Amino acid sequence: MDTDASEPILKPYHRHHHDHHNSPTPVKASDALPLPLYLTNGLFFGLFFSVAYFLLHRWREKIRNSTPLHIITFPEIVGIVCLAASIIYLLGFFGIGFVQSCISRGSHDSWDVEEDNGGGCSPEEPPTCTLAPISRAKVVAPTIQEPFLSGDDDEVIKGVVSGTIPSYSLESKLGDCKRAAAIRREALQRMTGRSMEGLPLEGFDYESILGQCCEMPVGFVQIPVGIAGPLLLNGKEYMVPMATTEGCLVASTNRGCKAIYASGGASSVLLKDAMTRAPVVRFGTSKRAAELKFFVEDPANFDTLSVAFNRSSRFGRLQNIKCTVAGKNLYMRFGCSTGDAMGMNMVSKGVQNVLDYLQPDFPDMEIIGISGNFCSDKKPAAVNWIEGRGKSVVCEAIINEEVVKKVLKTNIDTLVELNMLKNLTGSAMAGALGGFNAHASNIVSAVFIATGQDPAQNVESSHCITMMESVNDGKDLHISVTMPSIEVGTVGGGTQLASQSACLNLLGVKGASKDSPGSNSRLLASIVAGSVLAGELSLMSAIAAGQLVRSHMKYNRSSKDVSKIPS
């Protein structure tokens, strides 16, 4: 007979005593408490909040006094024990109904396990019936077999097309990232009516990008990787991987590497290494915003703020804080070292720690955003051009006159004049911001894609000024590139993918440096600058010799009819 879950039913009640008239008193979990339940609850609630306040107050004082947090006193030990005890009790209190039901069910005087003989009543003793409520949670509806479990891809595809199955949930529901990508791809083709033939699906590890590199994949794009080099930099040779679809780029950079090598190599200097993040906060008045600016920039407060910041990571170390005020709004630009990681997440966590620390002393501070664009990330900005962001590198070389003539097919005076009128004067006339170069972004983008960097950070990483002048009585050419904001890392993000990891390994900078944290990412930044130096030298020589158009017509033209590619 069907019974509504909210209605009581008659259930056999077994007696294991000979007395049929007196029922034993049911056992309650609260009977074990030494005080009435409401008093015990109040005691532990008060203990929890008072101890939590005490510990937070003590830890705040330690941070202010630069005292290590792991050094604890006896009162703090007692407080931690009391906090743990109150948490354990309160967790038990919220589940006390469940505990009480378990105790009751464990007693033979309340419930008994049904026997096989028609509901568990003894034939000799008529059953006494009691009202036992049935919980709705115990009513299990019959489950419908999902297409995920049946292995029927076509049913899943139809569900994605109809919208009943979210495309973004395929990986979690299927438990197979490659199958999810294939199903999503086919559903996309059915919805758009467009073929995706030519976009590869096979041969890629989709597990490696789950939750970190790309969402809702349907395949992967093939970008050819060429090698320029050897680049002789600081006495060592590097073969530089460049992922690009622009003809002549690798060949031109390779020619620049050849000229540098023949002239004895290039040298680089790392000027600065600091990733930045700049939150924006708002106050009721400009005066209050200025007060926080003065407090943050006061050298006497730097150590205290550093302790709060550095808790976020064992590699992130605060270096400086520079502020600017706009009306009632304050922008605080935090700069920190980040080891071998590019470090955006690391510095963001450190900044949040500092904001949390400042909030009690500046309760009227309203945090508008963890990033206020004074950082500045993935957009051209004068602050990066002037102050730097990431790695600031200068790379230089002296090219012999003979090499300029035989390898680069031009002469020193022509190169110097072209650089002045094109890279300096021409860029100034265009109102360039960090663009005083011929094509630094070409090389930066190609190396970034090959090594798993964030391609969008090419914007500020390509800030570069190329300088040329004749030296040694006009017999040699001095060329340099100054790049104040190269943002690279050798761990995290796309650097851990197989192809990109192989390119990093080729350069000898794969993963984190165990001996000197941060040295791999700094070396990668220097290699980027050295590659830009080679690219600038070769392209400027091609323009000076009138070879640019001719070389592009030869190497950057395709005879393939793209209209015949299936659509």
DSSP 394: E
d(CA 443, CA 525): 12
473 is catalytic: no
Tell me which residue of 535, 512, 538 sits closest to 523, measured CA to CA: 512
Tell me which residue of 370, 357, 310 sits closest to 336, measured CA to CA: 310
Alpha-helical runs (H) found in 170-243 = 170-174, 177-192
d(CA 261, CA 264): 5
Q: Is the peptide bond before 380 cis (omega within 30 degrees of 0)?
A: no
Residue 374 dihedral angles phi and psi, to the nearest 5°:
-90, 10
Tell me which residue of 333, 346, 344 sits closest to 297, measured CA to CA: 333
Tell me which residue of 280, 290, 297 sits closest to 373, measured CA to CA: 280
Give Cβ neighbours of residue 50 (< 8 Å, ≥ 6 apart): none
463 is catalytic: no
Which residue in the list 171, 377, 454, 460 is annotated as catalytic?
Answer: 454
556 and 246 in contact (C-beta within 8 Å)? Answer: yes
Which residue in the list 246, 291, 396, 401 is annotated as catalytic?
Answer: 246
228 and 254 in contact (C-beta within 8 Å)? Answer: yes
Tell me which residue of 460, 461, 472, 465 sits closest to 419, measured CA to CA: 465
Q: Is the peptide bond before 195 cis (omega within 30 degrees of 0)?
A: no
Q: Rounded to a whole number, what is the largest CA-CA distance in the chain? A: 123
391 and 487 in contact (C-beta within 8 Å)? Answer: yes
First-to-final CA distance of the chain: 61
- The DSSP bridge partners found for residue 318 are 336
518 and 339 in contact (C-beta within 8 Å)? Answer: yes
Give Cβ neighbours of residue 6 (< 8 Å, ≥ 6 apart): 136
Give Cβ neighbours of residue 311 (< 8 Å, ≥ 6 apart): 350, 353
Which residue in the list 378, 409, 422, 478 is annotated as catalytic?
Answer: 378
521 and 342 in contact (C-beta within 8 Å)? Answer: yes
70 is catalytic: no
18 is catalytic: no
d(CA 250, CA 229): 9
d(CA 396, CA 383): 24
By CB atoms closer than 10 A (0-12, 13-18, 19+), residue 295 is middle
By CB atoms closer than 10 A (0-12, 13-18, 19+), residue 50 is middle
DSSP 493: G
3-state secondary structure of 45: helix
Enzyme catalytic residues: 246, 378, 454, 552
